[in-house]
Amino acid sequence: MLAACQKEPTAMTLPDPPAPIVRPAEYAFGDHIASAEEHLVGQIDQSLRGRFDKPVEAHLSAPAETDFAAVRRWYGERAEGWQALPDVEAVARAGGGQGFGFARDGQAFVMLWLAPDAAKGASPVTILRYGKPG
């Protein structure tokens, strides 16, 4: 009887990105890039804060040759049941970077990155995972 009442577990968030995007041991982009990344994250956070709670941030790194269009498609294939957040792309561009996002059930997943040339051979990548507002 108890087993009949249990629901199948569902993934409430999208996964971390595939290789070659990695979590570096330390932030190696310098103060200028860190400031640009912080500005970009702030712009996105400001646009989403009314709909979602404070995000959990993950700072990653991607080689300059990373095909972010392919990464976006990879997430699109895994985002069944999630709705695209089209405003993320426009806000990211206005904030000096690029990005995309998805939302579902009061949660959001956003991936942002700066242009590879801004980081001399690599792109800083930030993932924001938003939960339901408190």
Instruction: For the chain, 134 residues long, give each residue's pLDDT as a single digit of tens.
Output: 334 443 333 445 799 999 999 998 888 788 988 999 999 999 999 999 889 988 999 999 999 889 999 999 999 999 999 999 999 999 999 989 999 999 999 999 999 999 765 546 788 999 999 986 55
Going by the DSSP 8-state scheme, the letter that residue 96 receives in this structure is T
How high is the pLDDT of residue 133? 54
Number of domains, the chain: 1
Report d(CA 7, CA 24) in Å as an integer.
Answer: 37
**Structural domain harbouring 28:** 17-130
Asked, for residue 11, whether it belongs to a domain, the answer is no
Measured between its terminal Cα atoms, the distance across the chain in Å is 34
CB 22 within 8 A of CB 60: yes
Residue 3 domain flag: no
Domain assignment present for 65: yes
Note the pTM of the prediction, 2 decimals: 0.85
Residue 54 falls inside a structural domain: yes
